[in-house]
Amino acid sequence: MQPAAAGAMSPFHAGVFSLVVFTVLVMLFIASQLFLAAWLGEKKKSPEKSRPYECGIIPTGSASFRYPVPFYLVAIFFLIFDVEGAFILTWAVVYREVGLAGYAQMSFFILLLLAGLFYIWKQGGLDWKEAYNRADS
């Protein structure tokens, strides 16, 4: 391999440089579409046209609400499980190297995770429909 083509900036290497160039290309394409969308086409403003759609009726109140509890629950569960999933990922690449001991530890971790999931389940955290009613009372 010749020096000019070596390293992170090598165009022959499918590395970050290539990804950056691809990203730039994609961004250029998307930008061109956004630009064309914004530029082309006749613009005719009218009060009705810029009113948000709601089945042909003038909307009542604002389009925002207090997020019901279940949505927060989803977010929190996701955070917990996603972070813990990251631990499993790191183990997964090297699971043969860390051998039985690693597997035992990871099994314990995963079982703990499962137990946590079942606990939430049992507590009704995963009953999306009933969660509404509970939040109500």
Partner 1 sequence: MLLWVAGFIILLVKLTIVLGVVLFLAGYLVWVERKFLARLQIRLGPNRAGPYGLLQPLADIVKMITKEDTVPDGADRAFFLLAPAVVASTAILMFSVVPFGNDITLLGQRVPLVVTDLNIGLLFVLALSSLSVYGVALGGWASNSKYGLLGGIRGAAQMISYELSLGLSLIPIVMMAHSFSMVEIVEAQKSYPFILFQPVAFLIFVVSAMAESKRIPFDLPEAENELVAGYHTEYSGMRFGLFFLGEYVHIMVFGGILAVLFLGGWRGPFLPPVVWLLIKIFLVALFMIWVRGTLPRLRYDQLMDLGWKVLIPLALINILVTGAVGLIVH
Partner 2 sequence: MERGVQPSRFLNIADRIINWSRKYSLWPMFFGLSCCFVEEAATFTSRYDLARFGAEVIRPSPRQSDLLIVSGTVFKKIAPVVLRLYEQMPEPKWVISMGSCANSGGMFDVYSVVQGVDQIIPVDVYVPGCPPRPEALLEGLVILQDKIMATEKPSRKVFHLGGGTQGTDRPILVNGATKSGDPRGPGYEGLPIRGTSIVPGPLHWGNRSDLMWTPPAHRRELSETDQAMAAELRERFGDKARLEPHSSDMPTFEVDPGSVKDVLRFLKNESKYKYKRLDDLTAIDESARRDSTWNGGLAEGISEAGLAGAFSRRERGRYPDFTVVYQLLSFDTASRVRIKSGLDAQDRARAQVSTASITDLWPSANWYEREVFDMFGIRFEGHPNLHRILMPEWWEGHPLRKDYPGRATEMAPYTLEDARKRQPMDAMELSTLDNKGPKGDTEFFLNIGPHHVSTHGLLRCIAGLEGEEIKSLDLEIGYHHRASEKLGERQSWHQYIPYTDRNDYLAGSSLEFSYVTAVETLAGIKVPERAQAVRVLLAELYRLSNHLVWMATFAHDVGAMTPNFYTFAEREMILDIIELITGGRLHAEFLRIGGLAADLPEGWKKAVDDLTAIFPRRLWEYEKLLRKNPIFLQRTKGIGRISLEEAMDWGVTGPNLRACGLAWDLRKKMPYSGYENYDFEIPTATEGDCYARYLVRVEEMRQSIRIIEQVAFNMPSGRYVTDDYRYAIPRREEMLKDIETLIHHFINVTRGMKIPVGEAYGVTEVPRGEHGYYVVSDGLGSAYRVRVRGPGFANIQTLPMMATGESIADLISIIGSMDVILPDIDR
Chain residues binding partner 2 by CB under 8 A are 40-44, 46, 48-49, 51, 53-61, 65-68, 70-71, 129, 132-133, 135-136
Give the Å distances, CA to CA, from 25 to 5, 20, 52, 113: 21, 9, 34, 42
Partner touching 32 among partner 2, partner 1, none, CB below 5 to 8 Å by kind = none
Amino acid identity for residue 26 in this structure: V
Partner touching 46 among partner 2, partner 1, none, CB below 5 to 8 Å by kind = partner 2
- Give min distance, CB of 132 to partner 2, in A: 4
- Give min distance, CB of 96 to partner 1, in A: 6
Is residue 81 close enough to count as binding partner 1 by CB under 8 A?
Answer: yes
Structure tokens at 90: 């790191």
Amino acid identity for residue 59 in this structure: P
Distance, CA of 46 to CA of 51 (rounded, Å):
9
Query: In whole angstroms, how large is the CA radius of gyration of the chain?
Result: 26
Residues in the chain: 137
Binding mask 88-117 toward partner 1 (x if CB under 8 A, else -) reads: xx--xxxxx--xx--x--xx--xx-xx--x
| Tokens 């969660």, residue located | 131
DSSP state of 124: T
Binding mask 22-51 toward partner 1 (x if CB under 8 A, else -) reads: xx-xxx-xxx-xx-xxx-xxxxx----xxx
- Give min distance, CB of 108 to partner 1, in A: 10
